Structure 1
Amino acid sequence: MPGYSTSISTVDIGAHSYRLRMLTDLQQYADPDGHSARLGISSAQWPLFGHLWPSGRLLAQVMARTEVAGLRILEIGCGIGLSSLVLQRRGADVVASDMHPLAEGFLAYNAALNALDAVHYRHMRWDEPLASLGHFDMIIASDVLYERGHAVTLAGVVARHARPDAVVMLTDPGRGHSAAFGRLLDAQGFTSSEERLALDGDLDMAPRGRLLRYQRGTVAS
């Protein structure tokens, strides 16, 4: 690909193997028209979307096991899209979103690699309302609280797009901003719980992150 290089990797989630196009390393950068810069994505941040991080794999594992029938689901910061692909394979009503200008293309390519229908995608900045996106029974994300202001902006997304009976699920490697996010969702009427998770297939089964779950109302778990 012009400006950056990619490779295809395979990851097992539940009973299925997923082929994923990803960036080859964290030194990639391509912004010939300045689109990323205008969105506030620095050269250091630019390649982060194109990798499968442990929290992303953990979220995909959770989505392979969670009851999702009848729920409208939003993935925030989908990156290469593994969790949304898992949900698409399960027949869920899922919308993937990201602010990175290449995320939509990577998601579409990865859906095709796995013989799946295209996942509904919306470009979304957390700090800008997107009324046409609508409301959701479940909002999911992985490792999205890595900057101080993310707790506030992500809580704003939840406030705008969560239905009265809703659940929010985040996988997190232990960032320091999750407490602030939890307080903001508590003010929106959510109650919280936390579970330590290991990656499937890890021989020592050591926890690789946390599932942070915020519940409001009676949506099924």
Structure 2
Amino acid sequence: MEALPGDRAVAGNPVGHMNVVALPRLRWRIQRHHAVRELEVPITGAEAPYRVIAPADPDAVLDQTARAFARHEAAKAAGGAQRSQAHAQHGSAGLVGASSPGGWHMPYWATPWASGLAVAEAVVAEPGRVAGARVMELGCGLGITAMALVRAGARLTVVDCWGETLAFCRYNALRAGAQNPPHGAGNRVGTIRTRLADWRTDTGRDALIAGAPYDLVVAADVLYEPEDIPILFALLPRLVGPAGAVWLAEPGRTTSRKFVQETDDAGWIRDTTTVTRDPWPADAGRATVRLHRYSGIGSASAELRSPPPLSHHHPTPPDLYVRSSQSPPDLHASLPSPHPA
């Protein structure tokens, strides 16, 4: 099976006229693997809704991956030859890959989520903060945040452990930059590079750190497992320079709140804003999202501590959110992942 257009290790693209020509080819390659639908996603502050392509049936993406995971487990039990055959049949589509420290991570990227929309709105509100900056996004989803960053003039690297995710993200961001004016007076549209890597693995972290430092690292709703907390805590200071910043958006999961508490205990400086939509557009749920802007952590000392014991529970879709009138519930959802670096 042909690899999707996000499956290469690094793909860099300036956004401009040449990509208007390339876009039909990119879309054709995506649609060889997925039926797609067009979404219109209103973004506060943008002059028009964002046009986003997404898998037509997100549940089918989950089912497909669950079947691939079952084949992978059966192949492991049966022996190496069958395992290799299963990977050869399905690996290029991004369906089978190595597990991360937190286990397998299901592909919930096929649906817009409120945290990504909140970051996009923050970028649109202040495009000058990212214009010309080197920016990394950890976990890119369908690319809604990337669309805002590219149109604001960022030199963007998007990272995900799914090649399929990178393909959709790259198409959506290139189309947004090529067919729409930049966000911000005087700004030029930026560039986008895709990076296939899992930040939860040693190999993935090493690959990302090799490209540091970045002026800004963005992460929207990426913390699901307790063992992710010390890993991200140690990684972020190594990705940004002393003057760099981190924007972390989260909808109140237990793991997210524990991470924020860890950063407070370590003396990280943050400014937090709260954004509520009831509901968010594009079926992104009803949520109160907290956007934490960290600064001055690039020189922080953060050693990678031993993660807590792995949990052995069935993954839960991240579809439970916090309404503004309630205290955050005790949520613990697990995202599964193939495709490490």
TM-score band w.r.t. shorter chain: 0.7 to 0.9
Q: What code does the residue aligned with 1:71 have? A: A
Structure 2: how far apart are the matches of 1:191 and 1:118? 29
Measured against aligned partners, the alpha-carbon deviations of 1:179-210 in whole angstroms (never above 9, x if no partner) come to 432355457652123221024997xxx86311
Unpaired runs of 5+ in structure 1? none
C-alpha contact 1:80 1:107 (8 A) present in aligned 2? yes
Paired residue for 1:12? 42
Q: Which of the two has higher C-alpha Rg?
A: 2
Q: 2:172 aligns to what SS in structure 1?
A: helix
| Partners of 2:153 and 2:191 within 8 A in 1 | no
Distance 1:194 1:114, change over 3 A: closer
Percentage of matched positions with identical amino acids = 25
Matched, 1:137 2:194: no
Deviates more, 1:173-182 or 1:22-31: 22-31
d(CA) in 1 for partners of 2:54, 2:230: 29
Alpha-carbon distance in structure 2 between the residues aligned to 1:120 and 1:138 = 15
1:78, CA displacement in angstroms? 0.6
What is the Cα deviation at residue 150 of structure 1? 1.9
Contact 1:159 1:188 in 2 (8 A): no
Which amino acid counterpart does residue 164 of structure 1 have in structure 2?
A: P
Give the distance between the partners of 1:120 and 1:175, measured in 2 at CA.
30
> Post-superposition shift, 1:21?
1.1
- Which residue identity is paired with 2:289? G
Residue of structure 1 equivalent to 2:151:
89
Are residue 33 (structure 1) and residue 95 (structure 2) matched?
Answer: no
The yes-or-no answer on 1:45 pairing with 2:106 is yes
- TM-score relative to the length of structure 2: 0.55
CA-atom RMSD in angstroms: 3.0
Contact conserved, 1:9 with 1:22, CA < 8 A, in 2? yes
Query: Which structure is higher in helix share?
Result: 2
Q: Per residue, is there more strand in 1 or in 2? A: 1
Partner of 2:306: none
Distance of 1:81 and 1:111 partners within structure 2: 6
1:120 maps to which residue? Answer: 193
After superposing the two structures, state which structure 1 stretch, 80-89 or 100-109, moved more: 100-109
Q: By how many angstroms is 1:44 displaced?
A: 7.3
* Aligned partner of residue 114 in structure 1, secondary structure: helix
Show structure 2 runs of 5+ residues with no match.
1-30, 69-88, 179-189, 281-285, 299-341
